[in-house]
Amino acid sequence: MPYRVLFLCTGNSARSQMAEALLLLIGGHDFQAESAGTYPVGLNPVTVEALREVGVDWQGRQSKRASEFMGQSFDYVITVCDRAKESCPVFPGPHKLLHWSFDDPAAALPEHRLKEFRRIRDQIADRLRTFLIDDLKLEPASLHS
């Protein structure tokens, strides 16, 4: 049975979307990943572009509200921004709540935005690999990309 992981952010436009996509890419079929926002604002098109660069087609995805997942159980609920951590809803059942703080790439100046999205994408991928190897004890050779 796959691990169920929910990534939470404020807007569900960049960081949580990238974490969802990258966990599915790196972890493969061992994971069911979702993402949501406490105040969703729509998927940032630069998120789609940054994910496309690493082979993930995220076109057509939507921002989701955290309340859509209330009543569902997860193995891990992971906040990826400080504001979401402060207002994280309570999810039922046993799960582990983690917090990984990443800068908001959408806050970068327009001329630096894609570079910042790439930087945050790569930080999230590195953090996911560490989580999968150190916390879940997966073999590095079992990870994709």
Q: What letter represents residue 84's amino acid?
A: A
pLDDT at 91 (0 to 100)? 58
* pLDDT for the residue numbered 92: 58
User: Higher model confidence: residue 18 or residue 70?
Assistant: 18
Q: Which of 18, 26, 48, 81 is catalytic?
A: 81
Task: Look up 16 and say whether it is catalytic.
Answer: no
User: Measured between alpha carbons, how far is 6 from 30 in angstroms, rounded to an integer?
Assistant: 14
Active site residue 50: no
The pLDDT confidence band at residue 97, using thresholds 50, 70 and 90, is: confident
The predicted structure's pLDDT at residue 82: 73
Please enumerate in sequence order all residues whose Cβ is within 8 A of that of 137, keeping only pairs 6 or more positions apart, or say none: none
Q: Residues 55-83: pLDDT tens digits?
A: 999 999 999 999 899 888 899 999 998 76
The SS3 call for residue 85 is helix
Confidence of residue 94 (pLDDT cuts 50, 70, 90): low
**Structural domain spans, the chain:** 3-142
pLDDT for residue 1: 82
88 is catalytic: yes
Chain mean position to CA 123: 11
pLDDT exceeds 90 at position 49 = yes
Check 9, 56, 84, 128 and give the catalytic one: 9
| Annotated active-site residue in 24, 41, 54, 88 | 88
Query: What 3-state class would DSSP assign to 96?
Result: strand
User: Which architecture characterizes domain 3-142 according to CATH?
Assistant: 3-Layer(aba) Sandwich (3.40)
Highest mean pLDDT among 4-18, 74-88, 91-105: 4-18
**CB within 8 Å of 74: residues ≥ 6 apart:** 4, 5, 6, 34, 91, 93, 95
